Structure 1
Amino acid sequence: MKKALLFVMIVAITLTLLPTATGISSVAADSDKSAKIETSKTDTVKVETAKIEKNDGSSIKIIYPVLSGFTSAEKINDLLKNSNLDAIGTVRKEQSYLEEYIKGMPQKIQDPPFASIDSSYDYNKSGDILSFVTNTYFYAGGAHGMTSLDSYTVNTKSGELYSFSSLFNSKSNYKKVILDSIKKSIDKEKNMYFEDAKTTVDKANSNYKFYIDGNKLVIYFGVYELRPYAGGIARFSLTAKELKGLLKDDVYNQMINAKPLEKIRLNGISAKTQFKTYEKDYVLMVPLKTTADILGYKVGWDSKNGASIAGGFIKNNVDTYYTTGSKKIKLTPAKVIGNVMYVPVTYFSEVLKEDVSFDGEALRLFTKSTVTPSQFDTQSTEFIKADSAEECADLYAKAVKERKGVVQYGLMSAKLREANKKGFEELNWVTGVSSPWVTTYNVKDNGNGNFKITFNWATSAGKSPDTTVTLSVSEVKDQQYFEITSIK
């Protein structure tokens, strides 16, 4: 369990950089169609939404954007793929630790904990500037999980992927203005922050994590960086108007008339219908019919049984929910206010199994219009991190035998991934050939992180010549897992 706790800490750092069984689908980013963002008469930016989902001990659900139509789209897509793969590898490793821990307990646990990752995203456009944020919740046992954000901001016309400093005129005093603004915000709510919060901001040295939400620049710090867990992610917003003269002219002109995202978001962007919600005992209550309509459900009414949806009935002031063939689930009771029935937002996620979530900042809904899943995403759900050099070498050998290119790729360092990516893509991530095939392999530890792997091959006609590969494996700095740094 000690290893599991260490991995949770690692994930909290790493993620700030990220149908049942093996169902992998994609949904379009504007109702049932992908979102097209007009950048010029000759250039159209497209945002589609892919989904990776698997439940086999651990629970994996990652909803992420797939970009096209501008020069740096592929680069960002690769960053997201790598982030998703690493997150999946970590959560599956955590699950193995939990299972090991549970096996060693003297009594059987009725509802054992399981590792999970649940991630979705938002995006907004400010002229030619496209900015999106992935919102990830990771759980690996314990009292609570960890929430993290990752963000990317790009100019779709020039292809520039912005760093924080590249937004500003280098000769301006933007560093001081922004630092003073953040510290002023902290001073207004001192009881919400750690005593050394302002010192932590100083140490960032104006190299902040950020995203652009319409006419606002949002700077954020991860959970536990500035305040306790209950305080969540600390965000500090400054409008384009406040930053006039500090931002580069092009950035300012793109932002000044753009609109921030609204609370209700459909497929990553503001929903056209912004409906009323309210909170009861820390539970968000949403209008049943309006929300159901957006997700493609029909709601009927029966004077005796109440609202009918998906084969179940919902009654005013009753806390039981179900659908055809499902078990009854108890949630916050439904409530009729005026002529509108409200239900807890979790009704849609836990009973109808829809991709609906609320994190205190936004209500996110994703529809299920599917497109062809990628081989990369399909294989990625089988990747697991290695917590020793020996395991890393063995996992690689096994992946070669099973022709799983994504698993091989996942075990590699960033440099090796980049060098081998094109070759894997040409093979559509299925390595080797149908004949000859690997029958067995032997991994020999030569010491100092070096391993010699001998692969035994065969065809339908009999044995084929053996081949050997030499790997160099090393521990990733500040993280408790290992990666392959060279293959010969």
Structure 2
Amino acid sequence: MKKIVSFVLALILCLTTFTTLAGASDIKGSIKVETRKIEKIEGDLSLKLIYPYFSGFNAASELNSIIQNRNISSIGYIRSNEAVIKDIKAQQEKAGEPAGNMSAFLESYFDYNTSGSILSVVIHSSDYTGGAHGMSYMESYTVNTKTNEIYKTFGSLFDSKSNYNKVIQDKINKLIDKEKDMYFIDAKETVAAKKGNYQFYFDGNKLVIYFGLYELRPYAGGMPIFKIDAKELKGLLKSDIYTQMINAKPLENVRFNGESLIPQPKTYTQEYNLMVPLQDIAKLLGYKATWSGGNGWEVAGGYVKNKVDSYSSSKSDGNVKLGLPPKAVGNIMYVPQTYFSMVLKEDVIYDGDALRIFKAESVNEGTFDQQIAEFESPDTAEKAVNMYAKAAQERKGAIQYALYSDKLKAEKRAGFEEMNWVTGVSSPWISGYEIYEIDNESKKTYSVIFNWATSAGKSPDTKTIVTVEKIPQQEYWQITEVTE
């Protein structure tokens, strides 16, 4: 997906909680799914992450942590690229050169579906940090909400005595053969090299296997996705998984807050644009569409008039042309789906496959999300320890947590949650800090001296030993040990 984000002068920090039509959605009665959003737009940065938060089953906490840590990595990556872009533009300005049209863009959203008590979540992401085009990614998580097993490997789905690996590989190869011209010559060799270690999720009665951009085919071909019906996997899948999958239903094409919208609204395609019913989608998003005679339909302070490609609302900057006028079909007005995202500024996303609609039911300025939007992955050990000390002084637990290794995150998470991600106390407070390097090897250790104060004056200093290591196969650093 190509994304080019121009300069944005306004600062928007919006942290929102979404629920489905009748509150949070039920899976097997007691499981709840809440949709949250982190959004920040300023300068060269455009960041929006729409993600699910689960409750009602024992493994929900672990699943939420996995998704949260993924968000941390994504935000840290794009913010570090934003810093590079700022440096480049500063150098261009200093040299008297025009600033390049560079920006840092990140967007993610999700789908989820159930096969009996088996829940699959798919996170779709795209980013752009300069160059010819952006990149798109998928990450998926599948959990049995009854047994609370998170299926972390492809092989964990199958009977260990079956020949599932050969059967699956043969099925993928046959699907590749159907569109040979779309794939690299060595695509089958790449599949074989996976040795059954595929990325996967369930979509109702289908097992979905997917590969990243450039793995099997050129960028223009998109991400390869292979769907296999459960009935073709009888005797291969574990019996309890097969039983739950066989009668489950795949997601529909129009989705609301991550799941199929029921009933499905009627849509059609015109000139490669998806046309959707204005009244139904507007109502779903909390707007009132009112007929205004010769002016057409009034929505959010603007009008939608049959066959007139000029749209506006109280949220748009003047009139907006979408390249396709609305069309009345009977008493229903159809508009391009981009009307909702570009004119009403709502979270309505169409990728050519599915229309995804997300709606804010209430505002939840969660402390973690509010803090984490500022996180930047440190590319030096010195930057990591300085970020840690600054976050401690500012009492930002989410930033401290984001700097930790996975092992340290698991050890410290409960403590941060108990404090609602706000560390320290109101008095005494950290008035300053000094950092001294102890070790200069690949594993760097620092002594951080925190200076404390109260309204009555200075309090005794404290010392914290912080160990920082480079993340394997990455250019970023993480904190692996904190001793107070």
With the length of structure 2 as denominator, give the TM-score of the two structures: 0.92
Task: Indicate whether 1:326 and 2:312 are aligned.
Answer: no
Helix, strand or coil: the match of 1:469?
strand
What is the rounded CA distance, in whole Å, between the counterparts of 2:315 and 2:75 in structure 1? 31
Mapped partners of 2:114, 2:155: distance in 1: 20
Shift of 1:109: 4.5
Q: Partner residue of 2:37?
A: 51
Change (3 A) 1:113 1:347: farther
CA contact (8 A) 2:315 2:343 kept: no
Report the Cα offset of residue 486 of structure 1: 1.6
Q: Which amino acid aligns with 1:51?
A: K
SS in 2 for 1:292: helix
Aligned to 2:453: 458
| Pairing 1:95–2:95 present | no
Q: Which amino acid aligns with 2:77?
A: T
Distance in 1 between residues matched to 2:130 and 2:264, nearest whole Å: 36
Identity of aligned residues (%): 50
Matching residue of 1:14: none
* 2: CA distance, partners of 1:356 / 1:143: 25
Q: Is the 8 A contact 1:386 1:481 kept in 2?
A: yes
Residue number in structure 1 paired with 2:165: 175
Q: Which residue of structure 2 aligns with residue 149 of structure 1?
A: 138
Q: What SS is found at the alignment partner of 2:408? A: helix
- Tell me the residue number matched to 2:57: 70
C-alpha deviation, 1:108, in angstroms: 4.0
What are the residue-to-residue correspondences of 1:98-137 with 2, within 5 Å? 98-105=85-92, 106-109=96-99, 112-137=101-126
**Equivalent position to 1:366, from 344, 358, 361:** 358
* SS of residue in 1 equivalent to 2:177: helix
State whether residues 124 and 212 of structure 1, in contact with CA within 8 Å, keep that contact through their aligned partners in structure 2. yes
AA in 1 matched with 2:38: I
User: Counterpart of 2:166 in 1: which secondary structure?
Assistant: helix
- Is the partner of 1:237 in helix, strand or coil? strand
How far is 1:439 from its partner?
A: 1.3
- C-alpha contact 2:379 2:476 (8 A) present in aligned 1: yes
Residues 294-316 of structure 1: CA distance to partner in whole angstroms, max 9, x if unpaired?
Answer: 22222233443333211111233
CA distance change for structure 1 residues 94 and 282 in 2, over 3 Å: closer, same or farther? farther
Find the aligned partners of 1:94 and 1:482 in 2 and give their Cα distance. 15
Deviation at 1:37, TM superposition (A): 1.6
Query: Which of 293, 306, 321 matches 1:316?
Result: 306
Q: C-alpha separation between the residues in 2 aligned to 1:323 and 1:108?
A: 35
Aligned mates of 2:82, 2:156 — CA distance in 1 = 40
CA contact (8 A) 1:474 1:485 kept: yes
Which of the numbers 295, 298, 301 marks the counterpart of 1:305? 295
Shift of 1:378: 1.7
Paired letter, 1:45: I
Within the alignment, does 1:264 sit opposite 2:254 as a pair? Answer: yes
How many residues align? The count is 464
Q: What corresponds to 1:375 in structure 2?
A: 367
RMSD: 1.8
> Corresponding residue for 2:26?
36
Deviation at 1:20, TM superposition (A): 5.9
Q: CA deviation at 1:426?
A: 1.9
Residue in 1 aligned with 2:224?
234
Tell me the SS of whatever aligns to 2:371: helix
Alignment-derived partner of residue 7 in structure 2: none
Q: Which residue of 2 aligns with 1:80?
A: 67
Shift, 1:102, TM fit: 2.0
TM superposition shift of 1:280? 3.9
Stretch moving more, 295-304 or 263-272: 295-304
Q: Could you report, residue by residue, the CA deviation over 1:52-105 in whole angstroms, capped at 9, with x for unpaired residues?
A: 222233222211111111111111011111111121111111111112222222
Give the drift of 1:122. Answer: 0.8
Segments of structure 2 that go 5 or more residues without pairing to the other structure are 1-9
Q: Secondary structure at the match of 1:408?
A: helix
Name the CA distance, whole Å, in 1 between partners of 2:312 and 2:208: 40
In the superposition, relative to structure 1, how do residues 487 and 76 fare at CA in structure 2: closer, same or farther (>3 Å)? same
Structure 1: distance between partners of 2:131 and 2:477? 25
Label 1:34 to 1:218 Cα distance change in 2 as closer, same or farther (>3 A): same
Give distance in 2, aligned partners of 1:320 and 1:96: 38
Superposition map of 1:339-358 within 5 A? 339=330, 340-358=332-350
1:335 maps to 326
Whether contact under 8 Å (1:32, 1:367) holds in the other structure is no
Secondary structure of the structure 2 residue equivalent to 1:104 = helix
Letter in 2 for 1:48: E
Quick one: structure 1 residues 113 and 321, their matched pair in 2 at CA, closer, same or farther if it must change by over 3 Å?
A: farther
Letter in 2 for 1:24: L
Q: CA deviation at 1:275?
A: 2.5
Instruction: Identify the range of structure 1 (461-470 vs 127-136) with the bigger mean alpha-carbon deviation.
Output: 461-470
Alpha carbons 1:316, 1:333 under 8 Å: kept: no
Q: Is the CA contact (8 Å cut-off) linking 2:16 and 2:365 kept in structure 1?
A: yes
Flag structure 1 segments of 5+ consecutive residues without an equivalent: 1-18
Change in Cα spacing, 1:108 to 1:313, as seen in structure 2 (3 Å) is farther
Mapping of 1:380-419 within 5 angstroms? 380-419=372-411
Partner of 1:206: 196
- What is the Cα deviation at residue 32 of structure 1? 4.1
Quote the residue 1:9 is aligned against: none
Give me the whole-angstrom Cα distance separating, in 2, the residues matched to 1:166 and 1:143.
Answer: 39
**8 A Cα contact 1:32 1:369, kept in partner:** no
2:388, 2:187 → 1: CA distance?
43
Which secondary structure does the structure 1 equivalent of 2:387 belong to? Answer: helix
TM-score normalised by the chain length of structure 1? 0.91
Mapped partners of 2:228, 2:16: distance in 1: 37
Whether the 8 Å CA contact 2:157–2:238 is kept in 1: the answer is yes
Counterparts of 2:312 and 2:475, CA distance in 1: 43
Whichever residue aligns with residue 286 of structure 2, its letter is: G
- 1:377 and 1:441, CA in 2 relative to 1: closer, same or farther beyond 3 A? same
Query: Which AA in structure 2 matches 1:301?
Result: W
- Structure 2 residue matching 1:326: 3-state secondary structure: coil
Q: CA 1:350/1:434 → structure 2, altered by over 3 Å: closer, same or farther? A: same
Residue 436 of structure 1 deviates from its aligned partner by 1.4
What amino acid sits opposite 2:289 in the alignment? V
Residue equivalent to 2:3: none
Q: What is residue 6 of structure 1 aligned with on the other side?
A: none
What is aligned with 2:210? 220
Classify the secondary structure of the residue corresponding to 1:320: coil
Structure 2 letter corresponding to 1:334: P
1:480 to 475, 479, 483: 475
Question: What is the Cα deviation at residue 320 of structure 1?
Answer: 2.5
